[in-house]
Amino acid sequence: MARIKKNDQVIVIAGKDKGKTGRVLKVIPETNRVIVEGVGRVTKHTKVGQSANGSRTGGIETVEASIHASNVMLVDPETKQRTRVGFRLEEGERPNGRKRTIRVRYAKKSGKDV
């Protein structure tokens, strides 16, 4: 189970954008990287073309680049500070009456579920 997931609120703890917070837009587990909204912005040159309605596309635009997952930490929902993520096992019940074990993420600073 991943410590950082899509739509989590995170804070950058290393790099040129240290201290900025944002929402995770995408997680790339193969390379252990995340794309955070408003963080790691780079200039991208796109080829000029035409869209279906005839308007011209392309040019220079700024987009979010991926950053390594170790450079971000989850923001605690209660204290609004950075926190580590822990996992807790809870017993749940399926609709057919059988029991199952569920892993739940929680903020170690406050103990609240994430």
Q: For residue range 11-67, list pLDDT tens digits in order.
A: 999 999 999 999 999 999 999 999 999 999 999 998 888 777 777 778 888 999 999
Buried b (16+ CB within 10 A) or exposed e, 16-51: ebeebbbebeebeeeeebbbbeebbeeeeeeeeeee
Q: Work out the pLDDT band at 2, boundaries 50, 70, 90.
A: confident
Q: Rounded to an integer, what distance in angstroms lies between the CA atom of residue 28 and that of residue 83?
A: 21
State pTM to two decimals. Answer: 0.81
pLDDT at 1 over 70: no
> Is 111 a residue whose pLDDT tops 80?
yes
* C-beta separation of 91 from 21 below 8 A: no
> Looking at residue 76, what is its pLDDT?
93
CA dihedral 92, 86, 38, 32 (to 10 degrees): -100
Residue ranges of domains in the chain, CATH in brackets: 1-74 (2.30.30.30), 75-113 (no CATH)
